[in-house]
Amino acid sequence: MTFFKKRNNKTIQDTNINTLKPDLKKIKVSNSIVVGGMIAFGKSTLAKKINEAIKDSQIVFELNDEDQLMNLLLQKMYERENNLLFGSLFQLYFVLNRFQNYKNNCNNKNITIFDRSIFEDWLFAHENIVRPSVFSYYDSLWKDVAYELIYEYGVPKLYVILTGDWKLFKERLFERNRKIEIDNYKKNETYFRKLLEIYEEYMVNVCKDFGIDYILVDANKPLEEKVDIVLNKIKSITAWHKKINGTDSYKIENFINHYNFFSAKDLNSSKANEFISEINKVLDKQEITVITMLNGLEPYASKKTYDEIGNELNLSIAKIKSIEKTAVDKINQIKIKT
């Protein structure tokens, strides 16, 4: 699954060569953390412990016992008696409800911890919505919601992804003994297996595509150890932000996200490849990578996390500005060639 930015209807023929440039928009980062992962891996428990450990933080859980409609749709979905109807309704209701919770809470003064996010919803919907035409509608809706989230409200500053194997999943599922899951286990065993097989890889790719700092945490570790791992990661991200902001108002995200999305309607594949080649030459010299999303092309590079950039490269603000200037010069050279 790859997400592409919306574009207008202009083609390269409609564009004045003097104004030809990438269609860019900076991704925002919200004041939030998401704890995600496979069903029964303990994300709600971990999210609650992180909430308790961070003073004045808030938490938004995935399930709400008072939401009768959500619980009814979840039950009907697991029962699989009319999956075409209830699988679709459940996923549509869930993504809209979760997005509403996210935008209302992701930029509070104090940090908010979310139990899952809409980025995981797409994966569940892909496995639950059986009719292609219905999934196509869902996919279009999801992309609109995701577009609004990343540009208007911001991606999480950290995504905690819990990992584990089938043995751990089955053990945890039966330990927590939720009636709806146990009663319908046989009907959903294949569904559970499919989710687990692709969950970790899917989430890592999502975080790379959207430039989200993430950490993989073994769900089998003791709870307190998992909390410490997450808190240390949060501290490293916070320290890196302070280092950047304390030196200069210029932020490293401005460089990383400056070239985040590209409109292939304004740049054909040949020129897009030339752009990649030229920018890679610049970036390879400076040992730094950025995300560049090209419409119809795969992302050519993945953003490194803040602490990785800091620890591996120890780039100064002056060097970052120099890299950006060199990259812009290269873009201008390509524009002239076109």
Domain CATH code at residue 115: 3.40.50.300
Q: Does 12 reside within a domain?
A: no
Distances (CA, A) of 15 to 90, 214, 268, 333: 43, 38, 13, 18
Q: Does 51 reside within a domain?
A: yes
Split the chain (338 residues) into runs of 10 and give each run's mean pLDDT: 42 44 69 96 96 95 87 93 90 92 94 96 94 92 92 94 98 96 97 96 92 95 96 81 42 38 42 54 44 31 41 46 59 57
Q: Are residues 162 and 278 in the same domain?
A: no
Domain that holds residue 295: 250-335
Q: What is the pLDDT of residues 3-36, one digit of tens each?
A: 433 444 444 344 444 444 445 567 889 999 999 9
Q: Are residues 74 and 153 in the same domain?
A: yes
Q: Are residues 140 and 264 in the same domain?
A: no
Smallest CA-to-CA distance from 151 within 104, 210, 98 is with: 210
Prediction pTM value: 0.67
Boundary-marking domain end, from 202, 223, 242: 242
Q: Cβ(252)–Cβ(267) under 8 Å? A: no
Euclidean distance between CA atoms 101 and 67, whole angstroms: 13
Q: Are residues 157 and 295 in the same domain?
A: no
Q: Nearest-5° angle of CA 56, CA 248, CA 310?
A: 75
Q: Does 101 reside within a domain?
A: yes
Q: Are residues 198 and 217 in the same domain?
A: yes
Q: Does 89 reside within a domain?
A: yes
Boundary-marking domain end, from 211, 242, 273: 242
Q: Are residues 223 and 143 in the same domain?
A: yes
Q: Are residues 55 and 188 in the same domain?
A: yes
Using a 10 angstrom Cβ sphere, with 0-12 exposed, 13-18 middle and 19 or more buried, the burial of residue 16 is exposed
Q: What is the pLDDT of residues 32-79, one digit of tens each?
A: 999 999 999 999 999 999 999 999 999 999 988 888 888 899 999 999
Count of domains in the chain? 2
Q: Are residues 204 and 279 in the same domain?
A: no
Q: Cβ(275)–Cβ(263) under 8 Å? A: no
Percent of the chain with pLDDT over 90: 54
Q: Are residues 237 and 259 in the same domain?
A: no
- CA end-to-end span of the chain: 31
Rg (CA), the chain: 22
Q: Are residues 216 and 71 in the same domain?
A: yes
